[in-house]
Structure 1
């Protein structure tokens, strides 16, 4: 998704802009649409979105299913990565390590964060910290999504 920050900044100026951006983002990566993410904030090295507690994402206990939460965390990470990656580099997720720490009994806020300096180092392994939080502030999932960040290949013109 080229220029995700430009799109976010342009669209969020409109009435209902965050909703519009959320829908556009989900169209680019259709699997994310399954959790209906609603972006709260996006900037380099930080992304925050919400997943509503609704029947389509609940498990047999009536809580938000952890895999739906992981989908939301990956959407947050993906938008963060697109907003943060230097123009001469590319990224791909290579793994997720998460812990389930509490029941997800409400709408969930998914947050992804990383350190700005991590994008400029020589180590291609870049950790993105992720957490999912209930409305009462309790963290229900926390962990790291690891990215593989490399130089873009030289273009043959």
Structure 2
């Protein structure tokens, strides 16, 4: 199964420039054009494959709160974007997905760039369960988990 977005990711990352960095930037811009709200956090999509998505939310002024750390909601936006990458790379041809809720815990200050990841197991997509929980977390470069939680998806048959 390959959605248009996942096909674009594969094409962009086949560009032989600086280890695929140019392709990742092109893809991130295209993703942000399709879903413009994500551009507000200046994200970098770093991985998109079945059952896994990863996006970096940079520690830039535009993403900081009043205490100088990356704002928790900017991190949540990164988590949702990572989940979208995962879902687009994983959803079977005969199904569609839509986010229906997010539960997160803020565990530490986000003092640097935050890598937001989303993960599922393939068996979750193969079943008939309409509520698909996606595990999400935000980590600093040193491995500190700053946000952890679940995004729930409606997964229904296409008509």
Range of TM-score over shorter length: over 0.9
How many residues align? The count is 153
1:112 to 108, 113, 118: 118
Task: Kindly indicate whether residue 11 of structure 2 is the aligned counterpart of residue 5 of structure 1.
Answer: no
Match 2:64 to one of 55, 58, 66: 58
Checking the alignment, whether the CA contact within 8 Å between 1:108 and 1:134 is kept in structure 2 is yes
Deviation at 1:96, TM superposition (A): 0.2
Once residues 79 and 120 of structure 2 are traced to their aligned partners in structure 1, the CA distance between those partners, rounded to angstroms, is: 13
Q: Which runs of 5+ in 2 are unaligned?
A: none
CA distance in 2, matches of 1:44, 1:123: 18
Aligned mates of 1:135, 1:118 — CA distance in 2: 29
The match for 2:47 among 32, 35, 41 is 41
User: SS of the residue aligned with 2:82?
Assistant: helix
Which of 125, 141, 149 is the equivalent residue of 2:155?
149
**Is the counterpart of residue 70 in structure 1 residue 71 in structure 2?**
no
* Unmatched runs of 5 consecutive residues or more in structure 1: none
1:13 Cα deviation after fit: 1.5
Q: Which runs of 4+ in 1 moved over 2 A?
A: none
Give distance in 2, aligned partners of 1:114 and 1:96.
Answer: 15
- In the superposition, the TM-score normalised over structure 2's length comes to 0.93
TM-score (norm 1): 0.94
Moved more, 140-149 or 41-50: 41-50
Residue 140 of structure 2 is aligned with which of 134, 141, 155?
134
Q: What is the CA–CA distance in structure 2 between the aligned matches of 1:59 and 1:104, rounded to whole Å? A: 10
Match of 1:21 among 13, 24, 27: 27
Deviation at 1:102, TM superposition (A): 0.2
